[in-house]
Structure 1
Amino acid sequence: MAHEIEQFSDGTAAFVGARESAWHRLGTVTADALTAEDAMRLAALDGWNVRLVGLHATELTAEGTTLLDVPNHRASVRTHPKTGSPETLGVVGPDYTPVQNEEHAEFLNFLADESGAHFETAGSLREGRQVFLTMKLPQTMTIGASDNVDLYIAAFNSHDGSSAFRIVVTPVRVVCANTLRAGLRNAKSSYTVRHTSGARGRIAQARQALGLTFKYAEEFEKAAQRMLDAEMTTPMLRTVVDKLWPVADADSSRKKSNQQSRWYTIRNLFEQADTQAGIRGTAWAGYNAITEYANHIAPARGASPDLKSAARAERVISGTADDVMERAFHLIAV
């Protein structure tokens, strides 16, 4: 499935969301905010016991079978949350140290105790190779008179060695649910911890570093307010869109046709969409038209409408459109 949420043979899925259902329509939706224990249990993330197991290779010769050790590499293995059987998640190097899902949640639970945040979502991607948890912070930024932006902290972890333990600060516009993880010059929006023997200690350090979260929120609010105060015309927005998706004279007719289709869609969002009500004609509206297109409207692969919707939902989870949104932010922010 394009959304990559882990699904089990009993019809359940490794996803939980608080109060609002997800686009992929899988997993459990709760009526109340989640605790760490709720998130672990309802998203089937507890009891994995991720561990490292030595690797062996089998060589077949005329004399028979020889079992060979594979030095400097180990298999990352979990206990499957439904069957209880061991399952290989990936091959990792000699310095890799697992970070258990419970440790992942414990770290975020510390933030709940300190800031009043609560868990919003949790889940497993790519058959257990990656997991994520998100928390909603109590602070809400206000852009202009009525455009509210909530602030979330999302923590991602991989069990196959493909990425580090990563904490990301993500402001989300309530009206259109766009992820706006823009790279601000003087703010820290993420913290990364490598999977090594000292990982647990550095997670503790990250707790202090996340004090910068609120500076990030302040910087984002100031930049967004500047965009709200700045006028943007349709030709000005076209200049930004052409820089984000450049097309040369020598490019194919198909690429030029895609460019025109993309521009018509973004222009319609900017000039007519309900999501721009109250901010129309501003640089903030232009930025949101681009992010809404990049996350939710840009063409997606899939044989059916449901698969296309799932692929678009995955963009937000994986941050596929972040590069476009960050470049748009720096082109538009004044």
Structure 2
Amino acid sequence: MSHQIEEFDDDTAAFVSHRQDAWHHLGTTTRDCLTASEVMTKAYLGGWNVRKLPLTAHDVTPTGVVNLEVPGAFATVRSHPKTGAPQPLGTVGNDYTPVQNEEHCELLDLLVDESGAHFETAGSLRGGREVFVTMKLPATLRLAGIDDIDLYIAGLNSHDGTSAFRILLTPVRVVCANTQALAIHRAKSSYAIRHTSGAKARIAQARQALGLVWRYAEAFEAEAERLITTELDMVEFQRIIDRTWPQDTNPSTRADNNTARRNHHLRELFTTAGTQAAIRGTRWAGLQAITEYLDHFAPAKDTTVRATRVLTSAAVAAKKQRAYELLAI
């Protein structure tokens, strides 16, 4: 999967980031905190005026072209951020109400006011069909004084009718289509706001979503603390490995050798890696050893392939989730 950030003919791109450049090196990076209006301007998200137009079909008859309006079907259309020309984005039904990018930011601005979060990234994907805006929460989760985990609130919207407006709590900083997919997969809390909702309902739902965010953060921190303070011996760690990577009943010699190499590497990370020093011998260390192996040591053709796999592979994410479920108390 490519980044799918919207790029324009004048070599600009619909993406903005606070302080940290994205891997694709597109768009604008700012040194100061972003306001909602700056997000709209710098990511070219403002003034789209997404609207519904009746969907029509054309039939050529002996007497000429007949225009047929399709009942209950509409095209979503925006004004192109550079040219102002109308541009179709998707097809929707009667009940669909567009959520403008400005409203998207206003909803998240409400969360900024109530949580202290700040705008972190924003951009347009797939030619304007999808838009993301993320905010970084002001405090990290510090687990047992050892591991710091950043959390982001991501607002994801589609203008083509393919998905609801969603608010996610995720440890993933969204900068492209790859990381948006990863954020959805790794979301710790998710709340969907239908495009059929009115503005007042959306504000109420955004507040409810924020409540879910804080409850999740507290629950996650408590669960991680339990993992950090609970011992894990090598015998049980090996059982976790075996269940995370189940083997065939009659594996080939090559598969046996690959399993042996992987097991050795995982055991080494668990027992001797410097990254595990402060949490050695705990269930949290077991989880971190498996995560570190998948992110940095699992065989790959080259570093680019490995990095892309970490960002986009559902199989890698599923193994991490499986390991977490096996280690959870």
TM-score (norm 2): 0.82
Instruction: Flag the 1:96–1:259 CA change in 2: closer, same or farther, 3 A.
Output: farther
**Does the 8 A contact of 2:170 with 2:187 survive in 1?**
no
**Matching residue of 2:230:** 230
Describe how 1:295-314 pairs up with structure 2 within 5 A.
309=307, 312-313=310-311
Matched, 1:130 2:125: no
3-state SS of paired residue (2:98): coil
Question: Superposition pairs for residues 273-288 of structure 1, below 5 Å?
Answer: 275-288=275-288
- The equivalent of 1:17 in structure 2 is 17
Amino acid at match of 1:329: Y
Of stretches 222-231 and 283-292 in structure 1, the one that deviates more from structure 2 is: 283-292
Question: Which residue does 2:72 correspond to in 1?
Answer: 72
Q: Tell me, which stretches of 5 or more residues in structure 2 are unaligned?
A: 174-178
Post-superposition offset of 1:223: 0.5
Change (3 A) 1:20 1:104: same
CA distance in 1, matches of 2:267, 2:44: 43
Per-residue CA deviation, residues 213-236 of structure 1 (Å, 9 max, x unaligned), is: 222111111101111122334553
- Cα distance in structure 1, aligned partners of 2:213 and 2:328: 20
Q: Which has the larger radius of gyration?
A: 2
C-alpha separation in 2, matches of 1:54 and 1:253: 62
Q: Displacement of 1:102 after TM fit?
A: 0.7
The aligned runs of 1:1-334 (5 Å cut-off) are 2-171=2-171, 189-196=189-196, 198-209=197-208, 210-233=210-233, 236-249=236-249, 270=270, 275-292=275-292, 309=307, 312-313=310-311, 323-334=318-329
- The aligned amino acid for 1:3 is H
Code of the residue aligned with 2:325 in structure 1: it is: H
Q: Report the 3-state secondary structure (helix = DSSP H, G, I; strand = E; otherwise coil) of the residue aligned with 1:281.
A: coil
User: Partner amino acid for 1:155?
Assistant: G
Q: Aligned with 1:211: secondary structure?
A: helix
Report if the CA contact (8 A) 1:54-1:73 is conserved: yes
- Decide whether aligned partners of structure 1 residues 39 and 183 sit closer, same or farther in structure 2, where only a CA change above 3 A counts: closer
Rate the CA distance shift 1:203–1:285 in 2: closer, same or farther, 3 A: farther
Question: Per the alignment, do residues 309 and 183 of structure 1 end up closer, same or farther by CA in structure 2, a change over 3 Å counting?
Answer: closer
Q: CA deviation at 1:151?
A: 2.5
Q: Distance in 1 between matches of 2:10 and 2:84?
A: 14
Tell me, in whole angstroms, the C-alpha distance in 2 between the residues paired with 1:159 and 1:333. 38
Q: Quote how far apart the aligned CAs of 1:23 are.
A: 2.5
Which residue identity is paired with 1:44?
A: Y
* Contact 1:132–1:155, Cα closer than 8 Å, also in 2: yes
Is contact 2:111-2:207 (8 Å) kept?
Answer: no
Moved more, 25-34 or 160-169: 25-34
The structure that is helix-richer by fraction is 2
Question: Over aligned residue pairs, what C-alpha RMSD do you find?
Answer: 3.5
State the Cα distance separating 1:126 from its structure 2 match.
1.7
Question: Which gives a bigger RCO, structure 1 or 2 (Cα 8 Å, sep 6+)?
Answer: 1
Report the Cα distance in structure 1 between the residues aligned to 2:102 and 2:315, rounded to whole angstroms. 27
The answer to whether the 8 Å contact 2:241/2:263 transfers is yes
Rate the CA distance shift 1:129–1:295 in 2: closer, same or farther, 3 A.
Answer: farther
CA contact (8 A) 2:169 2:187 kept: no
Taking the aligned partners of 1:39 and 1:193, their CA distance within structure 2 comes to 21
The whole-number CA distance in structure 2 between the counterparts of 1:305 and 1:206 is 42
Cα pair 2:155 2:166 within 8 Å, conserved: yes
With normalisation by structure 1, the TM-score equals: 0.80
In 2, distance between residues paired with 1:308 and 1:328? 20
Q: Distance in 1 between matches of 2:253 and 2:75?
A: 48
Change (3 A) 1:164 1:63: same
Distance 1:49 1:183, change over 3 A: closer
Query: How much has 1:193 moved relative to structure 2?
Result: 0.7
Structure 1 unpaired stretches of 5+? none
Aligned residue type for 2:59 = E
Greater Cα offset, 205-214 or 39-48: 205-214
Shift of 1:100: 0.7
Shift, 1:25, TM fit: 2.5
Q: SS state of the match for residue 200, structure 2?
A: helix
Shift of 1:91: 1.0
- Look up the SS of the partner of 1:166 in the other structure: strand
Identical pairs, percent:
50
